């Protein structure tokens, strides 16, 4: 008897399972920052198109940006997304929620100030800066742009600042020290000094009473 399409179905199922085992492209967070209408002057007149700026990240410390131009909006966004994925950089995060330290970034007339924040602060930033932090996976940060509202300059200035970020582990490796020597705990910078001060105060107390 002819088995009909059943074997073909099992074969297709095996093929699909093989594709799932290989895994596809990792999922990214994509944010469209701006879309602009542009014109190119040619001999016959003007050719209109669109320019898109896109920020792409994995939500856990990796982010990139790109721009693309095309005659149609979807094509411009696709080009910008491909460029952003090729230009992704890794940014170290503290506790997977904020930056390790404050920093300034500059590009052209644009200047941005990026500040680490305590838990519960949220993302206090607007426009392109908010898109960068959402794609990066930052939950607590304060950011401000000074000098320009051009999204190109703001994004490049922000990436200039993020490129200066260093984790305590990287600083310790660069200096040949342990991470514990780099990090200073709040309220416990010099416990020996506190003990010495307490001993000195105890020793001075009887002297003061004797003088009275």
Q: What structural domains does the chain harbor?
A: 29-168 (3.30.160.20)
At 123 the pLDDT is 93
- Of the CA atoms within 13 Å of residue 73, those in its CB half-sphere come to 5
Yes or no: say if 68 and 78 are a contact pair by the CB < 8 Å rule.
yes
Yes or no: say if 83 and 131 are a contact pair by the CB < 8 Å rule.
no
Q: What pLDDT digit, counting tens, does each position of 166-198 carry?
A: 887 777 787 777 777 766 544 344 444 444 444
Q: What pLDDT digit, counting tens, does each position of 7-17 carry?
A: 444 444 444 44
Q: What pLDDT digit, counting tens, does each position of 44-90 carry?
A: 899 999 999 999 999 888 999 999 999 999 999 999 999 999 999 99
How far is the C-alpha of 44 from the C-alpha of 69, rounded, in Å?
Answer: 20
Question: Is the predicted pLDDT of residue 109 greater than 90, yes or no?
Answer: no
Three-state secondary-structure class, residue 196? helix
How far is C-alpha 181 from the geometric centre of its chain's CA atoms?
Answer: 26
């Amino acid at each position: 008897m002819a088995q009909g399409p059943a074997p073909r179905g099992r074969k297709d199922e095996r093929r699909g399972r093989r594709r799932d085992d290989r895994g596809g492209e990792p999922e990214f967070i994509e944010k469209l920052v701006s879309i602009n209408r542009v014109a190119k002057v040619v001999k016959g007149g003007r050719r209109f198109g669109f320019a898109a700026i896109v920020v792409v990240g994995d939500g856990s410390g990796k982010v990139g940006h790109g721009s693309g131009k095309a005659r149609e909006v979807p094509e411009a966004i696709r080009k910008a997304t491909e460029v952003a994925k090729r230009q992704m950089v890794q940014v170290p995060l503290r506790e997977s929620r904020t930056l390790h330290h404050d920093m300034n970034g500059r590009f052209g007339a644009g200047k941005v100030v990026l500040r680490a924040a305590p838990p519960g602060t949220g993302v206090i930033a607007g426009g392109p800066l908010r898109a960068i932090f959402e794609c990066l996976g930052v939950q607590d940060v304060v950011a401000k742009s000074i000098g320009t509202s051009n999204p190109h300059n703001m994004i490049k200035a922000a990436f200039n600042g993020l490129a200066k970020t260093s984790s305590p582990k990287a600083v310790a490796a660069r200096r040949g020290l342990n991470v514990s020597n780099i990090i200073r705990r709040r309220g416990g910078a010099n416990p020996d000094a506190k003990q010495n001060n307490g001993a000195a105060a105890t020793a001075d107390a009887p002297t003061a009473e004797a003088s009275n």
